[in-house]
Chains A and B, each alone.
Chain A
Amino acid sequence: MAYFLQQALNALQLGSIYALIALGYTMVYGILTMINFAHGDLFMVGAFLCFIAATTLGLPFVPALLIAIAGVAVLGVVIERLAYKPLRSAPRVSAIITALGVGLFLENFTLGLSPYPKHIPPLLSSTTWTVSGVSVSSLQILIILVSVGLMVLLDVFVGKTMTGMAMRAIAWDRTLVPLMGVPVDRIISITFAIGAGLAGAAGTLYGLAYPVIDPYMGIMVGWKAFICAVVGGIGSIRGAMIGGYILGSVEILVAAFCPSTYRDFVAFALLLVLLIFRPYGILGKPQAQKV
C-alpha cells in the first residue's frame, strides 16, 4: 500500500508537469487549430532560463521561476509574431512545419550556446518527511502545488474574465468574432504568452525535480505532452489536465511494475488503444463533418 501511495505521488508530480505543457498545446490548438510543435522546446528554454537565473544571477526559487515564466512568455509571443502570424491564411501544414522548424532552431541554437548538459543547483533546501512508509519531499509537494495553482488560475482566467471569453469565442468561430470587435491579434498573442509561460514554469519545475538539463530534453517531453493534449481531447483545457495526469500515472505505474525500458512502449500502446475507442479524446467533442 505504501509502495502504491509512493508511486501515486510520483505520478502526480510527473503528471503535473505534463499537464502544464499540454495546456499550452491545447490552448494554441483551440484558438488557431495549429499544433505548436515548438512548444516542447519552449519548455526546454524555460529550464535553461531557470539555470541561468540560478547560477549566473544567483537568484532563489521564486524569482527564478518568475524569470523563466516571463522570458519564455516573451519568446512565445515573438515566435508567434515573426513565424506564425504571416502563415495564418496559409495551408495548415505549412504552419505545423514552421513550428517544427522553430523547435529545431531553438534546440540547436541552445546546443550551440551550451554543448554540454547543465546541472541546475538545488534552489530549495528539500526536506523529506516519512509518513507511514511513504516518503514525501517538500519539493514534490511544491511542484504539485505550484502546478495545480497555475492550472486553477488558468481555468478561472479562461472561464471568468473578458479576455478568457474572447479566447473561447475565437476558438468557436474565427471569422465571425473579429466582426464583434474582438482584437484577434492581441488575444492570440495573449494565448501564446500564457501557453509559453506555463511551459516555462513546467521547465523550471522539471529542472528542480530532474536537475540535469540538455537542449534536446524538450523533444520527448514535448511529444508526450502533445499526446496528453490529444488524449484529453485537443482544444479542451480541462482535458489537457486530465490527459497529463493519465500519462503521468501510466508511465510511473509501468516503470514501477515492469522493467523501466518498457515504459514508453506500454504507455504508447495504451494510448493507441484509448484512441481506438475514443478517437476524439476524453473531453473532446466528436466533430460533425459537414458535407
Chain B
Amino acid sequence: MKLNVRDLLVERRVWLTALLLAGFVACVAVQAFGLCNLYVQLILMYVGINIILTVSLNLINGYMGEFSVGHAGFMAIGAYVSALLTVRGFPAAHSAWFFPVAVIAGGLGAALVGMLVAIPSFRTRGDYLAIVTLAFNMIVKSVIENVEAVGGPRGFMGMEKLTTLPWVYVWTVLSVWIIRNFIYSRYGRGVLAIREDETAAELMGVDTRQVKLLAFVISSFFAGVAGGLFAHLLQFINPRSFDLLKSTDILIMVYLGGVGSIAGSILGATSYTVLLEVLRPMGVWRMALMPLVLVVLMIFRPRGIMGLREFRWFVPVRDFFSGALPAPKKEVADAAP
C-alpha cells in the first residue's frame, strides 16, 4: 500500500473545503427558505456561540494548563463594544454591512483587555491566576454596572437582530480554524510546553511571555467575538448575563468535552447546549441534573469526553503519520564508505 503524505493532505483539503462549503450553503438555505423553525435556528446559533467560547477557553485552560475562570468578562467587553458600535457608531441604515466590523471591533477590545490579564500570568500560576481572572470578571461587571452611558445595571438594548445562522457558522469555523492552526504552529508547541513544564519550556528556549500573551490575546479575541454575536442575537445585554455563572457554564462545557481537545470542545459545547434544551420540560430540575451528569462523568472519565484526544481531521497529516508510518529512510548508503 502506497501512502503519500502529500496526496493525503490534498485529498483532505478537498474534502474539508467541500464539507465546510456545504455547511455554509446549508446555513444560508435554512435561513433563506426557513427550512427549520426559528426555535431550532436559535438553538443552532447558541451552539455556535458556545463552541466559539469553549474552544477559546480551552486554549488557555486545556492547552496552556492555566486556570482562567473569567471568560465571561471578555465576552462582556466584546458584547458591549460591538453593540455600542452598531447602535451609536455606525449609520443605522447600513448596520447590516457594518456588522462584521463591529464584531471584529468587539473582539479587538476584548483582546486588548486580554493582554492586560496576561501580564499577571507571567508571574503567577494556578490558584492565584484563577483569582486574577475571577477578579477581572467581577471588575468588568461592576464597571459596566456603574457606567450610566451604557445603561448601567439596567442593561443595553436597541441592537438590530443582525446575528444570523450563516454569520454564526462563519465565525465558528473561523475560530476553530485559527485556534487549531495556532495550536499546531510553533507558538502552539510553546503553549503545550508551558502546560507540561514551564521552567523546562523556558530552558528549552520558549519565549514563555510571548506565548502566554499571544494565547491570551487569541482566546479573549474570540470570546469578544462570541459576545458580539450574542449581543446581536439576544438584542438585549445586561451586566448580569456576563457574571460568574456564565463563566462557570463555559468552564463546564470545556471540561465536559475534554481539556486539550478541539473536537472535545465542539462536542462539549454542543451536547451541553442541546441537552439543556431537550430537558427543558424538566424545568428547574434539569439545572440540577446537568451538574450531576458532570460529576458522574468526571468520576468515570476525569479528562472529559475526549480528554487530550482529537478527531483525525483536526490533527495535521504530518503529526498523524509521524507515529503511524516509519520515518523516511535516510540515504545512509551514500554517506557510508
Decide if A132 is an interface residue (CB 8 Å cutoff).
no
Would you call the interface of chain A mostly helix, strand, loop, or mixed? helix
* Among A66-74, A89-97, A153-161, the stretch in contact with B: A89-97
Q: Give B residues with C-beta under 8 Å from A.
A: 61, 67, 120, 123-124, 127-128, 130-132, 134-135, 138-139, 141-143, 145-146, 153, 199-200, 244-245, 248, 251-252, 255, 259, 283-285, 287-288, 290-292, 294-295, 298-299, 302-303
B67–A271 CB distance below 8 A: no
CB neighbours of B120 from chain A (8 A): 272, 275-276
Partner of B146 from the list A219, A261, A268, A279 (CB cut-off 8 Å) is A261
Cβ distance A182 to chain B, nearest Cβ, rounded Å: 25
Cβ distance B102 to chain A, nearest Cβ, rounded Å: 27
A83–B295 CB distance below 8 A: yes
Taken together as a complex, chains A and B put the C-alpha atoms of A152 and B142 apart, in Å, by 35
B199–A291 CB distance below 8 A: yes
Cβ distance B305 to chain A, nearest Cβ, rounded Å: 13
CB neighbours of A265 from chain B (8 A): 138-139, 142-143, 146
Decide if A166 is an interface residue (CB 8 Å cutoff).
no
Taken together as a complex, chains A and B put the C-alpha atoms of A223 and B290 apart, in Å, by 22
CB neighbours of B248 from chain A (8 A): 100, 104
A108–B131 CB distance below 8 A: no
Cβ distance A25 to chain B, nearest Cβ, rounded Å: 10
CB neighbours of B141 from chain A (8 A): 264
21 A-B pairs whose Cβ atoms sit less than 8 Å apart in the complex: A35-B127, A86-B299, A94-B303, A95-B298, A97-B251, A97-B255, A98-B298, A100-B291, A101-B294, A101-B295, A104-B252, A108-B291, A112-B287, A112-B288, A223-B244, A227-B134, A262-B146, A264-B141, A265-B138, A272-B120, A275-B124
A97–B294 CB distance below 8 A: yes
Decide if A102 is an interface residue (CB 8 Å cutoff).
yes
> Chain A 197-217, CB within 8 Å of chain B: the 1/0 string?
000000000000000000000
A105–B138 CB distance below 8 A: no
Decide if A234 is an interface residue (CB 8 Å cutoff).
yes
CB neighbours of A280 from chain B (8 A): 128
Cβ distance B245 to chain A, nearest Cβ, rounded Å: 7
Per CB-CB distance, the 3 closest pairs between chain A and chain B, nearest first, are: A90-B302, A94-B302, A108-B287
A96–B67 CB distance below 8 A: yes
Taken together as a complex, chains A and B put the C-alpha atoms of A115 and B290 apart, in Å, by 18
Q: Which residue of B lies closest to A231 (CB)?
A: B131
B128–A230 CB distance below 8 A: yes
CB neighbours of A259 from chain B (8 A): 146
Cβ distance A229 to chain B, nearest Cβ, rounded Å: 9
> Chain A 55-96, CB within 8 Å of chain B: the 1/0 string?
000000000000000000000000000010011001101111
CB neighbours of A271 from chain B (8 A): 131, 135
B303–A91 CB distance below 8 A: yes
Interface centre among B142, B245, B259 (most CB of A within 10 A): B142
B291–A275 CB distance below 8 A: no
New A-B contacts (12) at CB < 8 Å, excluding given A87-B299, A104-B294, A262-B146? A86-B299, A90-B298, A93-B67, A95-B298, A98-B299, A111-B288, A115-B284, A223-B134, A230-B128, A261-B146, A265-B142, A280-B128
B245–A101 CB distance below 8 A: no
A262–B131 CB distance below 8 A: no
CB neighbours of A104 from chain B (8 A): 248, 252, 287, 290-291, 294
Once A97-B252, A101-B292 are accepted as A-B contacts, the answer to whether A268 and B127 lie under 8 Å apart by CB is no
Decide if A289 is an interface residue (CB 8 Å cutoff).
yes
A272–B132 CB distance below 8 A: yes
Partner of A105 from the list B123, B153, B199, B292 (CB cut-off 8 Å) is B292
CB neighbours of B291 from chain A (8 A): 100-105, 108
